[in-house]
Chains A and B, each alone.
Chain A
Amino acid sequence: MKVLILFAALLCMSCLQAEQLPRTPEGRPDLTGTYDVATLTPLERPKAYGDRLYLSPEQARKMADDVAALKRAGDQISDPTRSAPPAGGDGSPGAAGNVGGYNSFWIDNGDQAASLGGSFRTSIIIDPPNGRRPPMTAQGSRRMAEFFSLFGKNTGAAWWLDRPGPGPYDNMEMRPNGERCLLSFGSTSGPPMLPALYNNMKRIVQTNDTVMIMAEMIHDARVVRLNSKHPPEHIRYWMGDSIGFWEGDTLVVDTRNFRERPALYGADANLHVVEKFTLLADGNLHYQFTVDNPTVWQSSWSGEYPWPPWPASSDKVYEYACHEGNYALGNILRGARLLEQDAQALVADPSG
């Protein structure tokens, strides 16, 4: 009897939630709006959490506190009498590439872990159970190794001259799509659409036959045709071809026909992504995705995280007009030519 009462209560809650959803004149949940998907929850789960999907409330609070402390530290006053940073580089890791980046106030990567149903998550990936991408295939690994061979430590010298084949700075087409302002970086446009270090806004505009999903970076707009078919295989797109349909109150989007280098890191043209968008009664959009790319990963993998509505939902997202201000690409290519000239001069006159 108790079970029946509980079941009836859950059913009523579900009905109530369904009734509370904003709907289009056609009766579909109205997803139109702006969402801020920034979160401290990483795509892949730190190994220390093992198969644990959830953070305890204390762990979630500690994560938020630690990041807040880092942000406060970044805002501390610097020594006004400071000197230039060290010659030879400051040892900064990653893309900061031994020269540092920029101040923390430019960054906007959220202030708490992702929460679904009141529980904080250790990772966006939920399958495999360890919250990490499955191992790569031999082909996928080989492709990544070839790709990484194009990168070297930033010593201020033309290190690439010592390697065979084309160099990473030979021409603009050797540079990453994001650096060329062609496609989002960090898979913010995806699909799957993932959070990044900053500019995490998404804007959805929905009609009866089309859903547009715009990623702030690099102002990429995905246009999902509802109840349509994919074009022939030889027609390829930067963000793939997206078609969608309604499965009850959930919008399902199927994307394939990618070009060779999709926004998703590591993926290739065989990428197939299925996404599900479900509007929750609390206003959050429940975003789920499954990645299937058998030439790259040994099995498919899935993830989910909430897209909270942006409080100023009537505001439009600032345009991320990338080409106009992209001084960096020219600096990089011109700089490479100078370093190559230095190397050639050194060969001609080893005494320097």
Chain B
Amino acid sequence: MTVITIKRAAAIAGLLGLLFNSTQSWSHHAFGAEFDPNRPLILRGPVTKVEWVNPHAWIHMEHTNEAGEKEQWMVEGGTPNTLLRRGLSRRSLMPGSVIIVDGYQSKDRSNRANGRDVTFEDGSKIFMGSSGTGAPKDGRDASER
């Protein structure tokens, strides 16, 4: 099993940044506008529901916090159209599947986060074998220039 290291992940992130420094790199909204860099989190627990909706899919899950309390969270992904075209469906990620999510909490401080990296509990990607790279870029953010 190949486990990606932090250093390697950083290198890939850099490459992805270069790749997406193009005019194709537009996404529905700037994640920087929605999520709070001062509220990082890691969530572990079973999927409870998946909303296969546009502009972005949302994975609902139950996370157990350090105090042992159960919390309901929603995790933002990408557009479902891409996955549907590859033959995936609403049955491809069923309730009860245990996932790990790292990301940042929404600025509105509700139990919503971006799915920066969403994997099964062994670290494998939940939609392995699909194509694509990187993070979304809106193009209307001054920092993108």
Contacts and interface: CB of A to CB of B under 8 A. Distances in A.
A26 interface: no
B129 interface: yes
Interface residues of A, number: 88
Interface in A148-181: 148-149, 151-156, 169, 176, 178-179, 181
Interface in A172-204: 176, 178-179, 181, 185-186, 188, 194-199, 201
A83 B140 CA distance: 31
Interface residues of B, number: 96
Interface in B5-53: 5-6, 8-9, 12-13, 15-17, 19-42, 51, 53
B49 to A, nearest CB: 13
A85 B42 CA distance: 8
Contacts of A51: none
B145 interface: yes
B19 A77 contact: no
A76 interface: yes
B34 to A, nearest CB: 5
A331 B79 contact: no
A153 B23 contact: no
A244 to B, nearest CB: 26
B129 A75 contact: yes
Contacts of A92: 13, 17, 32, 135
Contacts of A152: 142
Most chain A CB within 10 A, of B108, B129, B131, is at B131
B70 to A, nearest CB: 19
A322 B54 contact: yes
Contacts of A82: 42, 100, 102, 117, 123
A338 B32 CA distance: 15
Contacts, number: 351
Interface stretch (A53-61, A100-108, A293-301): A100-108
Interface in A308-352: 318, 320-322, 324-332, 334-336, 338-339
A101 B33 contact: no
B104 to A, nearest CB: 4
Given A42-B24, A70-B133, A322-B54, A105 B127 contact: yes
B84 A318 contact: yes
Interface in B74-112: 74, 76-85, 100, 102-104, 106-110, 112
Contacts of B112: 327, 331
Given A103-B125, A318-B81, A338-B109, A79 B31 contact: no
A98 B35 CA distance: 9
Contacts of A330: 108
B52 to A, nearest CB: 9
B107 A338 contact: yes
A90 B78 CA distance: 19
Nearest to B78: A106
B2 A101 contact: no
Interface of B: 1-6, 8-9, 12-13, 15-17, 19-42, 51, 53-58, 74, 76-85, 100, 102-104, 106-110, 112, 114-119, 121-145
